[in-house]
Structure 1
Amino acid sequence: MNDVSDTKPVDLSEPLRRALGERYLTYALSTIMHRALPDARDGLKPVHRRILYAMRELRLSSTGGFRKSAKISGDVMGNYHPHGDAAIYDAMARLAQDFNVRYPLVDGQGNFGNIDGDNPAASRYTEARMTAVAEAMLEGLNENAVDFRENYDGTLTEPVVLPAQFPNLLANGSSGIAVGMATNIPPHNIAELCDACIHLIKTPDARDDTLLKYVPGPDFPTGGVIVEPPENIAQAYRTGKGGFRLRCRWEVEDLGRGQWQIVVTEIPYQVQKSKLIEKIAELIQTKKIPILADVRDESADDIRMIIEPRSRSVDPDVLMGMLFRNCDLEVRFSLNMNVLIDGVTPKVCSMKEVLQAFLDHRQEVLQRRSTHRLEKIDHRLEVLEGFIIAFLNLDRVIDIIRYDDDPKAALMAEDWGRDHPRALNEADYVPPVSTDDVTLTEVQAEAILNMRLRSLRRLEEMELVREQEALMEERAGLEDLLENPGLQWASITEQLRATKKQFGKDWDGGARRTTFSEAAVIEDVPIEAMIDREPITVVCSQMGWVRAMTGHIDLGRELKFKDGDGPRFIFHAETTDRLLVFGSNGRFYTVSASSLPGGRGMGEPLRLMIDLPNEAEIVTILTHAPDRKLLVASSAGDGFVVPEADVVAQTRTGKQVLNVRGDTRAMICKPVNGDTVAVVGENRKVLVFPLEDLPEMGRGKGVRLQKYKDGGLSDATTFMRAEGLSWLDPAGRTRSETDLAEWTGKRATAGRMAPRGFPRDNKFT
């Protein structure tokens, strides 16, 4: 958000295109630099940096007390970040969530949300303070380690960047969407990053791949297992773009007597546990994974998700392989290392470039802190020199202070190089100042006047001398450090080793949580192979209620149906079969036979299993045979042949095959058995023509089978010409006609009246 005072006055004569371009560019740069992209030096965005600085100003150390979150977010908003307090509190709450941030920078007390996706409590109910990690980010801030700038209203100052003892950009990661660019960086292990930095200091021209020996990959706060191939990880870190496949951590728990269950103890990063369980429950309900029986959450402070198989004979690897493909037990975390490399310029960097930017920042921080310390030492040496002069001329100093009207001016005007009336008794003591023309500076005179009487003890004289010698030695060391880059890098190396020791594997939460593994290659297992093969009898009523009777029962057996309902389709199948349902809307729907309700009751409406519109009717149900072909036709007399493998639908909405419009409806779907087609219309005219005259299509309206003046198609079938055309006469006897020359014609002609004895319902079967 830009300050209103920075907005340019509107020039009405300025072309609209230029005005929009300039203003949008201003907005884009503001979003990129001040909101969305992190700084490579401290890994923070402005809002996070301001939160930590405000907490430091409130003295909320990791060993001190907590303060209300509302107070913290209010101070951040009022002093440094002129945006909504809700956004500030959300950013602060995220820094306290150990499931979102690898090394939390805020120590929260109260409800700060959980891995299920629940929101934190309101800011008035929670309290917070900094963690030790946040203090390491801020160390050296009062030693002129970084530049400060004015806040948004010019009343205070804030740091441009934090000193940062470790590469926080990689340690905690970052994500954000700017204008025309985005960033997404996973968290890593601090100890490994420190090792990589030390190696980079020793070998500045180290290759990116060499750094992978120290940082093998991300270290997510929620653990998990990375199954991305090493060459892909190397490529991602080398280019700054890529991704990582991350899986949950699971194990098989033996329940005795051959029973077992899968226990998930770690879920992938940024996956909400509640939504993950909902998704798995949906897979169970829709029977998309038939070998999966149940899922439940037994989590407390840790993660414990129970996944139960359908039977003990299921292979756990196969079950988990299917879950990995169908839910967020496996995710892909994208890497896009787009950062502000110098605080200003956005750039997609490799891991080496990011670490080098951090090291360059640490060198600058070290130089600035050393220079600041040098200035402090010079000031203190000046004061010490004045104190020693005062002790050597104590009586004269006391006289001036007691009797002079302006003791400060008198002290500065006095020549302290004359023979002083008093000296120290130590024989080996050499006065540190010359005895010729010695005067006091204003700083020295002020310090003498502010000195306490208790400091006039004899012991203080020797303490001053010892302090002066120690400071002179420290000063010489700092001068050497500032002049020698080698000493600077050695000092930075020691700092990194100390940081590694502080936040390494011996620190609570410092050990690596995410491990690496090869993804087991699990071939796609057909659903049929996961289901016990058992005979069933599929029954579908006239009202569309379907059920599966156990075993192959007598198809003529009398069954119970609801009042006003009766049988329509009844046929033998097996639990491993897939059923094809053809609707009058021309769509095919696929239903697994194993998912049908049992035959003890009346079954369930088939429309609950598939998205068949209310205005559409079920034309036929048949068992799927992949190598078979089907003849489909509409009431208008249009049709074609379609391979059955092409009509299988993967979703509840089915697959459109026969296109129908207006009052036309799909009405014929029969397996192709023969080389000839027979068609009969509502006008009782029959036409016979070769099957080869019909095209084979995957979808469409089809071609005209028979021409009608009035009415439409009544029935169609296929048969072997040599065997003749058969039908049931009104008496129920099968009649066959081999001499079909009278009814044979070209496709799309009218045909001739049906032979004597043809059924009155105009159906071939």
Structure 2
Amino acid sequence: MKEKGVIEVNIEESLKESYLDYAMSVIIGRALPDVRDGLKPVHRRVLYAMYEMGVLHNKPYKKSARIVGDVIGKYHPHGDSAVYDTLVRMAQDFSMRYPLVDGQGNFGSVDGDSPAAMRYTEVRMTKIAEEMLADIDKDTVDFNPNYDGSLKEPAVLPTRIPNMLINGTSGIAVGMATNIPPHNLTEVINALVYMIDNKDYRDDDILKFVKGPDFPTYGIIYGKDEILKAYKTGKGVIKVRARVKKEVTTTGKELLVITEIPYQVNKANLIEKIANLAREKKITGIVDLRDESDRDGIRVVIEVKRGENSDVIINQLYKNTQMEIAYGINLVGIVNNKPKTLTLRDLLEQFLDHRKVVVIRRTKFLLKKAEDRLHILEGLIKAVENIDEVVALIKSSHNANEAKEKLMEKYDLSEAQAQAILDMKLQRLTGLEIEKLKKEYQETLKNIEFYKSILNNENVLMGIIKDELIEIRDKYGDERRTEIVSNAEEINIEDLIPDDEVVVTLSYQGFIKRTPLTNFRSQKRGGKGKAGAISSKDDFIKDLIVTTNHSTLMFFTNKGKIHYLKVYELPELARDAKGKYIANLISLDSDEKVAAMISTKEFDREHFVFMCTKDGVVKKTSLDAFSSGRSGIIAIKLREGDEIVDVSLISKNDLIFISTKKGKCIQFNSSEVRNMGRNATGVRGITLDKDDSVVSMEAVKGDPLILAVTAKGYGKLTLVTEYRVQSRGGKGIKLSKVTEKTGEIVGARQVKIEDDVMLISKSSKVIRLSVSDIPILGRDTQGVRLMGLSDEIVSFDVIRED
């Protein structure tokens, strides 16, 4: 039973209604700018409070705290810090293209330094800000009650400048946001003038004048297509870069000097980022970094190591730091109290519409004032023409009211005319003053005629708006700061790095490097080898592949994921260097490690990635399925306890050769394995004995020799034709004789007589052998000693003659 006085409501509807009210309050009253003057309420209130206080550009500065106090006391019932932050931003020449506040004191810096407290700084309006409030006293805009109803504040400013575009703005409301970049005043006004002169203008005509954003911090915008897209749709992303120039010192050192940075980028954070990248060797070739910026401008100096390619360093800086940013354009503003996404054309048209309203209201105000004055002048002139009678009439009256009534009755005057006659000074009776009255009367008539022509003729009205815009352009217009280039002149690192053959080695602990292949010379069979890396007690070279600098490395992890790197992105180090930790180059989980790696130059549909796991599971997936280059995606779905052993790139009908550590092998046609998606598990490739596992997998091409190598340094060549082709999933046949003397099989690879082979031991010894030095033997043999060593061979790879 409902209690008396209790009103039942639907809580869902109540919450929805309350939230919508809140959302619209934030959108309209705080976060988004009005499309007419480009201001949010807090900006408008700050400027109006300064105008009321008379803190104009030619008047003395006043304490910021005094301005803030007036704003929050009269118009903006929020915190003082929010108002002061607004005031500060309007004074920052690196935030505003055309600052609206002239500040004296510390107003922060491009390094992100905080401004001084409001009690220390002083402000006044800039001259251009006063243009935003011009004619506000001529009934040009509506006024609304302030928060407590005690005062009135303007709903919008009668701005003469297209502030929405020239200064831009940003804001996040509920469910929407705006991000409008600043523009050049001259370009915007030239576009407006063209629109006034040409009624049948098109978007492309406007874009001939407004080239693109013009940031206060200069910089370079790359690519015009995104600018055009943003202007025509209201949304887009543009690429903004810092300006870098090259200098050479008297001692021959090459310097890279940053003189301009992208808009809203913190210079101090940018320098710190560059320093960290250089310290971590993610960008090599930087030997010194210093900030030589002063009041004359930005100057960040990067000293380049002798012999380094400075173009590569510049490209890496653009790629890895905020020297290049993506600036998102989102042209959203308040139109008729509703948020709306606008095009450039919409923004310009809305400004012109606002100027029409302002000029019409101003003209009506001036017309009314002129008509009132004309009415008074008619009375004064009539009184002067009959001055003797008027004076006698006034003298004969007992009081002012009687005199007023007599004047109104005798000369057919209005009360206002009669009062003006009574208020007239005796000096107006001189001949000169009488002529002035008549001259003023004629001028007032002309003004009234002019005002009426404005209101009655659209062309005259637009001509007034055009003249005022040209006046603003001539007073405040300046040169464009931000350069716009058609396309990013990106430096292709691959064009700067020779596509030489290199040896890529990956250690058991995960250290990777590349070394020019020429650093390894062929040795005779049985040699002691060269040090391949700095060995440690717990680490040794695990994988080695021979590839080229321009190839893409595909890393397959024990978890069945794939990661990508360009070969040239690996550190090029000496043969005995340790290398760089792989986890610093690709993102790996704490319990994840690289199990196999392959290289390729193209991702096409003609080739397949063929994977084989320790438990004998195989999977074939089209190479183009991995073309996204997104690291961390699934390559194969593994069963519990299984892991990837080997991966090969194959053609459609290649034969697959799988080897096990116990000396078994199987050879079958890859066509027996269907093409599967990346998330598939795979199928059985070989059936293993209980204590056996797969150690290598090869895609056999042609009629090669099979090189089998054991852990204790034995190896042999066997004709591939001795290993018959079987059906997928069988137990296989004997690969090589495995004894205690030979140790278990490390792997089996296909080779040609003209190839070389590189063997890596657990102690990181590396030896390069010519295949022609290794004997060709049958399947059921143990082979000969390839490497004289006391420890074990852990990996080997083939250096193809081609």
1:136-164 superposed Cα distances (whole Å, 9 cap, x missing partner) = 11111122222212112110001122121
Partner residue, 1:428 = none
The separation in 1 between residues aligned to 2:614 and 2:275, in whole angstroms, is 42
For residue 13 of structure 1, what is the aligned residue in structure 2?
Answer: 8
Q: Is the 8 A contact 2:500 2:549 kept in 1?
A: yes
Alignment partner, residue 139 of structure 1: 134
What does 1:496-507 align with in structure 2 at a 5 Å threshold?
496-504=469-477
- SS of the aligned residue for 1:175 comes to strand
Which residue pairs with 1:519 in the alignment?
487
1:425-482 C-alpha deviation (Å, 9 max, x unpaired): xxxxxxxxxxx54779478658957x8xxx65x5874564354234323321231123
Partner of 1:143: helix, strand, or coil? coil
Query: How much has 1:686 moved relative to structure 2?
Result: 2.8
1 CA distance for matches of 2:471 and 2:710? 98
Cross-structure match for 2:81: 86
Instruction: Tell me whether 1:173 sits opposite 2:168 in the alignment.
Output: yes
- Is contact 1:582–1:620 with CA below 8 Å preserved after alignment? yes
C-alpha change, 1:411 and 1:91, in structure 2 (3 Å) is same
* In 1, Cα distance between equivalents of 2:739 and 2:642: 26
TM-score by length of 1: 0.77
Deviates more, 1:129-138 or 1:198-207: 198-207
The change in CA–CA distance for 1:278 and 1:694 in structure 2 (over 3 A counts) is farther
Cα distance change, pair 202–564 in 1 and its aligned pair in 2 (3 A)? closer
Between the aligned partners of 2:241 and 2:536, the Cα distance in structure 1 is 52
Contact 1:589 1:648 in 2 (8 A): no
- Counterpart of 1:141 in 2: which secondary structure? coil
- Residue 762 of structure 1 aligns with an amino acid whose one-letter code is E
CA deviation vs aligned residue, 1:404-435 (integer Å, no higher than 9, x gap):
6xx43354355599xxxxxxxxxxxxxxxxxx
Residue in structure 1 matched with residue 401 of structure 2 by the alignment: 409
Secondary structure of the residue aligned to 2:137 is: helix
- Checking the alignment, whether the CA contact within 8 Å between 1:537 and 1:570 is kept in structure 2 is no
Structure 1 residue 277: deviation in Å? Answer: 4.2
Q: Residue 443 of structure 2 aligns with which residue?
A: 474
**Which of 546, 571, 580 is residue 595 of structure 1 equivalent to?**
571
Sort the Cα spacing of 1:284 and 1:729 in 2 relative to 1 into closer, same or farther, 3 A: closer
Question: How far did 1:624 drift?
Answer: 7.0
Q: Is 1:160 matched up with 2:155?
A: yes
Residues 649 and 655, structure 1, Cα contact 8 Å, conserved in 2: no
Q: Which AA in structure 1 matches 2:293?
A: S
Which residue in 1 is equivalent to 2:496? 530
Partner of 2:262: 268
Is the Cα contact below 8 Å between 2:231 and 2:344 reproduced in 1? yes
* Partner Cα distance (2:349, 2:710) in 1: 91
SS of corresponding position for 1:23: helix
Question: Partner of 1:129: helix, strand, or coil?
Answer: strand
Which residue of the partner structure matches residue 354 of structure 2?
Answer: 361
Between 1:461-470 and 1:51-60, the stretch displaced more is 461-470
Q: In structure 2, what is the Cα distance between the partners aligned to 1:577 and 1:196?
A: 48
AA at the equivalent of 2:729: A
Q: Map residues 179-218 of structure 1 onto 2, 5 A cutoff.
A: 179-218=174-213
Asked if the contact 1:481–1:487 (Cα under 8 Å) also holds between the matched residues in 2, the reply is no
Q: Aligned-pair RMSD on alpha carbons?
A: 4.8
> Partners of 2:173 and 2:532 in 1: how far apart?
66
**Paired AA for residue 695 in structure 2:** D
Q: Distance in 1 between matches of 2:190 and 2:735?
A: 91
Quote the Cα distance in structure 1 between the aligned partners of 2:61 and 2:628.
Answer: 59
Aligned residue type for 1:123:
M
Matching residue of 1:556: 529
Structure 1 window deviating more from structure 2 (74-83 vs 44-53): it is 74-83
- Which amino acid in the other structure matches residue 471 of structure 1? E
- Partner of 1:761 in structure 2? 743
- Distance in 1 (alpha carbons) for counterparts of 2:418 and 2:554: 100
Aligned partner letter, 1:637: G
User: Once the two structures are aligned, what percentage of the paired residues are identical?
Assistant: 32
Quote how far apart the aligned CAs of 1:54 are: 0.9
* Structure-2 residue corresponding to 1:7: none
Verify the 8 A CA contact 1:293 1:310 in the aligned structure 2.
yes
Residues of 1 paired with 2:577 and 2:40: CA distance? 62
Q: CA deviation at 1:309?
A: 5.8
Question: Aligned AA for 1:409?
Answer: N
* Alpha-carbon distance in 2 for matches of 1:516, 1:563: 54
Give the equivalent residue in structure 2 for 1:492: 465
Whether the 8 Å contact between 2:248 and 2:255 is mirrored in structure 1 is: yes
Q: Which residue of 2 aligns with 1:706?
A: 686
Give the alignment of 1:5-44 within 5 angstroms: 12-44=7-39
CA distance in 1, matches of 2:142, 2:710: 101
Deviation at residue 243 of structure 1 after TM alignment: 5.3
2:144/2:152 contact within 8 Å kept: yes
Matched residues in 1 for 2:466 and 2:324: separation? 38
Look up the SS of the partner of 1:56 in the other structure: helix
Of residues 155-164 and 368-377 in structure 1, the stretch that sits farther from structure 2 once superposed is 368-377
| Pair 1:98-2:90 in alignment | no
Letter in 2 for 1:748: G
State the Cα deviation string for residues 363-403 of structure 1 (Å, max 9, x = none).
333343344344445666677756976986898799789xx
CA distance in 2 between counterparts of 1:148 and 1:723 reads 91
Distance 1:105 1:146 in 2: 20
Distance in 1 (CA, whole Å) between partners of 2:395 and 2:728 is 133
Q: C-alpha separation between the residues in 1 aligned to 2:152 and 2:160? A: 22
Residue identity matched to 1:500: R
Give the aligned partner of residue 614 of structure 2.
635
| Partner secondary structure for residue 482 of structure 1 | helix
Length-normalised TM-score, structure 2 = 0.74
Matched residue, 1:423: none
Letter of the 2:448 counterpart? E
Q: Distance in 2 between matches of 1:585 and 1:685?
A: 26
Quote the Cα distance in structure 2 between the aligned partners of 1:702 and 1:284.
43
- Equivalent runs, 1:307-706 vs 2, <5 Å: 314=309, 316=311, 324=318, 327-341=321-335, 343-377=336-370, 407-413=399-405, 436-437=410-411, 441=415, 445=419, 461-462=430-431, 464-484=433-453, 485=457, 486-504=459-477, 510-519=478-487, 522=490, 524-526=492-494, 529-531=495-497, 543-544=509-510, 551-552=519-520, 556-557=529-530, 564-565=537-538, 567-569=540-542, 576=549, 583-587=557-561, 592=567, 594-595=570-571, 605-613=581-589, 615-616=591-592, 619=595, 632-640=611-619, 656-668=634-646, 675=655, 677-680=657-660, 684=662, 686-692=664-670, 693=672, 699=678, 700-706=680-686
SS of the residue corresponding to residue 476 of structure 1 reads helix
Q: How does 1:225-304 map to 2 (within 5 A)?
A: 225-229=220-224, 236-238=230-232, 240-242=234-236, 244-255=238-249, 260-278=254-272, 280=274, 296-301=290-295, 302-304=297-299
What SS does structure 2 have at the residue aligned with 1:689? strand
- Segments of 5+ residues of structure 2 without an aligned counterpart are 748-802
Cα distance in 1 for residues equivalent to 2:233 and 2:738 = 80
Give the partner amino acid of 2:743: D
| Count of residue correspondences | 716
CA distance in 2, matches of 1:314, 1:256: 19
CA–CA distance in 2 between the matches of 1:730 and 1:204? 86
Decide whether aligned partners of structure 1 residues 572 and 704 sit closer, same or farther in structure 2, where only a CA change above 3 A counts: closer
2:667 is paired with a residue whose SS is strand
Pairwise CA distance, 1:524: 4.4
Partner SS for 2:642 = coil
> Relative to 1, partners in 2 of residues 1:690 and 1:111: Cα closer, same or farther, differing over 3 Å?
same
Matched position secondary structure for 2:26: helix
Mean CA deviation greater in 730-739 or 296-305: 730-739
Aligned in 2, Cα 1:48/1:391: closer, same or farther, shift over 3 Å? farther
Unpaired stretches in structure 1, ≥5 consecutive residues: 1-9, 418-435, 505-509
Distance 1:756 1:55, change over 3 A: closer
C-alpha deviations, 1:627-665, integer Å up to 9, x for none? 9988654333323467899889968x6665454454334
